[in-house]
Structure 1
Amino acid sequence: MANSYFRFKQFTINQDRCAMKVTTDGCLFGAWVASQLKDIPATNGLDIGAGTGLLSLMVAQQTALHLDAVEIDAAAATQAAQNFAESPWANRLQVQQTDIRQFIPSKQYDVICSNPPFYENELASPKTGRSIAHHGSGLRLLELLAQVNRLLADDGTAYLLFTAKRDADLGAALAAAGLFVQQKIVVHPSETHPSFRLMLAVKKNSVEQTAEQTVYIKDKEGYYTPAATSLLQDYYLFL
């Protein structure tokens, strides 16, 4: 983004104070998740690896969900709590600073969303918090999917963001976790670049998968495409 502020309809985050920076692909994912939930009669949701709370806030803006956010990094969880408290949706958002594997709620969730570690087998950042956020050293793919299965209601839906490099691994990993793809969106940073993200909607019961879709964030001239704009326009300060 070209500025340091991220706008919601009634709320603005100064991303300079965030422990984990706002990214365009993360914003696109949050906007897509929120758009999918507008007309679904879900009542509760879980954000796994919530970071500073951006995904939960985006979903809260567009839905009436009560959201639990779980984040292992203490600094990020503290920032998420502050962002939640200052938002118009504070009564529907709460964060717990814990490992998702140690999280024992009293319910299963209608909706789970997660922007999980990206680079399980690549060189980690020397900064511990950033390394946990972007690498699989804290929570590996199979472990994450097992937690999704454990915490998702039988008729619930989980929304997951992955790097496109994981595409070859995902089929077997999802099958091992007892999860089935309902939707798959392939995201390209621009019309001239290869895919770099996958957005998935998965369920615990076998479902017919909708046709795979492709979304380009920017066109050949470097402008946001209509598809990206339609998702992001309720959030970006200048778009």
Structure 2
Amino acid sequence: MKPFEFKQFTIQQDRCAMKIGTDGVLLGAWVPIGGSESSILDIGTGTGIIALMAAQRSDAEIIDAIEIDAEAYEQAVDNFESSSWGDRLFCYHASFQEFVEEMDDQYDLLISNPPFYAEDYKTSNKQRDIARFQGSLPFEHLLVGASKLMSDHGKFAIILPYKEEEKIIKLAKEVSLYAHKITRVKGNPTSKIIRSMVLFGFDQAVPQTDELIIENSRHQYTDAYINLTQGFYLKM
């Protein structure tokens, strides 16, 4: 499988169950990074795409990532080491639950493109199932862990199916996390909302909400999508 070339880095993905997709790139480009973040954590890094995007966009000295799958973990490490930011990127081979129990560090920004197929079916590809299915990292665990790992002014950004948005915002409140920003994503102007990107913080707030449409028509990307992703995609 050919590597995926971005403007400032290259991703090898032949050993990862979850390949580069729109969700990861969208979240990595959308997450607000203000310049004050000294530490960032990418939960369930897969190929390492979101951590690498964070390295390109920020001056954070520490950009850590966690990956449970051994093959994906090794690939993420290789992708980190072959980038320009290898000295700032580090990947842990662990489950998120183990990581939360063992780490005393806190982070200014947490980002996760989690597995979110909660439906009760499995395919014949176990590695892909672990990467795709919420069973290996339920939202409750993600939110509880995030609330423990966030610094006082920290933020947590996640992308999830739109149908799960209300549920996760409600769950988040139980661990004192509140939605600050919500962007709902549509494939084209007439399609249904498919994804929600949500930014959480500890302060209670009325969330800013907006909508992002990816394409006006097939391969005709909207200005908003181009503006968001053109720092990364070669052809944008």
> What band does the TM-score fall into relative to the shorter chain?
over 0.9
1:196 counterpart SS class: strand
Q: Residue 97 of structure 1: which of 89, 93, 99 is its match?
A: 93
**Which residue of structure 2 lines up, in the alignment, with residue 206 of structure 1?**
204
Q: How many residues align?
A: 232
Correspondence list, 1:77-156, <5 A = 77-103=73-99, 104-156=102-154
Structure 2 residue ranges without an equivalent (≥5): none
Per-residue CA deviations over 1:72-118 (Å, capped at 9, x if unaligned) read: 11111000000000000000000011011111223111110001121
Q: With the length of structure 1 as denominator, give the TM-score of the two structures.
A: 0.91
Please tell me the root mean square deviation across aligned C-alpha atoms, in Å.
Answer: 1.7
1:53 and 2:51 are equivalent in the alignment: no
* Residue range with higher mean Cα deviation, 187-196 or 14-23: 14-23
Structure 1 residue ranges without an equivalent (≥5): none
Per-residue CA deviations over 1:36-58 (Å, capped at 9, x if unaligned) read: 21x33110011111111000001
**Which residue of structure 2 lines up, in the alignment, with residue 182 of structure 1?**
180
* Residue range with higher mean Cα deviation, 106-115 or 83-92: 106-115
Cα drift, residue 172 of structure 1:
1.9
Amino acid at match of 1:204: F
Q: Kindly tell me: are residues 202 and 214 of structure 1, through their superposed partners in 2, closer, same or farther at Cα, counting changes over 3 Å?
A: same
**Which residue of structure 2 lines up, in the alignment, with residue 230 of structure 1?**
227
Structure 1: distance between partners of 2:58 and 2:207: 24
Q: Kindly tell me: are residues 99 and 4 of structure 1, through their superposed partners in 2, closer, same or farther at Cα, counting changes over 3 Å?
A: closer
Q: Kindly tell me: are residues 191 and 151 of structure 1, through their superposed partners in 2, closer, same or farther at Cα, counting changes over 3 Å?
A: same
Cα drift, residue 28 of structure 1:
1.2
Structure 1: distance between partners of 2:133 and 2:14: 22
Per-residue CA deviations over 1:5-41 (Å, capped at 9, x if unaligned) read: 33133x22244564421001221111112xx21x331
Q: With the length of structure 2 as denominator, give the TM-score of the two structures.
A: 0.92
Amino acid at match of 1:86: S
**Which residue of structure 2 lines up, in the alignment, with residue 69 of structure 1?**
65
Amino acid at match of 2:55: A
**Which residue of structure 2 lines up, in the alignment, with residue 173 of structure 1?**
171
- Are the counterparts in 1 of residues 178 and 202 from structure 2 also a CA contact under 8 Å? yes
Q: Kindly tell me: are residues 77 and 196 of structure 1, through their superposed partners in 2, closer, same or farther at Cα, counting changes over 3 Å?
A: same
Structure 2: distance between partners of 1:123 and 1:28: 27
Cα drift, residue 4 of structure 1:
5.5
